[in-house]
């Protein structure tokens, strides 16, 4: 009788653990995040993960994040002449989690979590921006890194830097 109770308790604990694990955010990145994009000959498992924790966040507990790419949050919204909100990119990093979303209505792509991170990681690693970078340079780097068609109607970029500085960048094509 006691043995049956132990088996039942064990089964309940295991199922509870699985249920709690399934409650995570769909946007949360679970793979380690680095500023190194894999090369064509390099498998993702071979990436250097010195900036990342195994749970997907950054490894430095004394920092709020931002060491990987130089910012803790990045949001890009692009309106095309024939489609508002055609591209929507979101990246958010803190010391114990990373969330990513990527939507491209033109190509019919809507990704979140690890899939979104895989899509945007190379572009994020190409960005070399700080709070002191001129606005037009930030816009130029974002357009180039993410391969955004220069014929966009409007682009809005919001960035939060590790020191807490929030900057909004905007450009409208005439």
Over range 93-103, report the average pLDDT.
Answer: 90
Confidence of residue 44 (pLDDT cuts 50, 70, 90): very low
Report pLDDT digits (tens) over 115-166.
999 999 999 999 999 999 999 999 999 999 999 999 999 999 999 999 999 9
Confidence of residue 27 (pLDDT cuts 50, 70, 90): low
Q: What is the pLDDT of residue 131?
A: 95
For 84, phi then psi, to 5°, come to -75, 150
Residue 13 has pLDDT above 90, yes or no: no
Q: Distance of CA 169 to CAs 109, 144, 145, 160, Å?
A: 24, 15, 16, 11
Q: What is the pLDDT of residue 1?
A: 59
Which alpha helices (DSSP H) does the chain contain, by range?
2-21, 113-126, 135-145
Q: What is the DSSP letter of 52?
A: B
Over range 65-91, report the average pLDDT.
Answer: 93
Tell me the two tokens of residue 34: 């680095």
Over range 40-59, report the average pLDDT.
Answer: 41
Q: What is the DSSP letter of 42?
A: S
């Amino acid at each position: 009788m006691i043995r049956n109770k132990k088996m039942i308790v064990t089964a309940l604990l295991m199922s509870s653990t699985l249920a709690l694990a399934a409650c995570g955010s769909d946007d949360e990145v679970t793979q380690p995040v680095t500023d190194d994009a894999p090369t064509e000959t390099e498998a993702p498992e071979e990436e250097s993960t010195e900036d990342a924790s195994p749970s997907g966040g950054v490894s430095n507990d004394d920092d709020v994040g931002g060491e990987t790419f130089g910012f803790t949050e990045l949001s890009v919204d692009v309106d095309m002449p024939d489609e508002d909100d055609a591209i929507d990119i979101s990246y958010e990093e803190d010391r114990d989690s990373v969330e990513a979303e990527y939507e491209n209505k033109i190509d019919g792509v809507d990704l979140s979590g690890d899939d979104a991170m895989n899509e945007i990681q190379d572009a994020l690693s190409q960005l070399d921006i700080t709070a002191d970078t001129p606005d037009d340079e930030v816009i130029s780097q974002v357009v180039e890194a993410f391969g955004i068609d220069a014929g966009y109607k409007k682009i809005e970029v919001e960035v939060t830097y590790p020191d807490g500085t929030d900057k909004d960048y905007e450009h409208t094509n005439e």
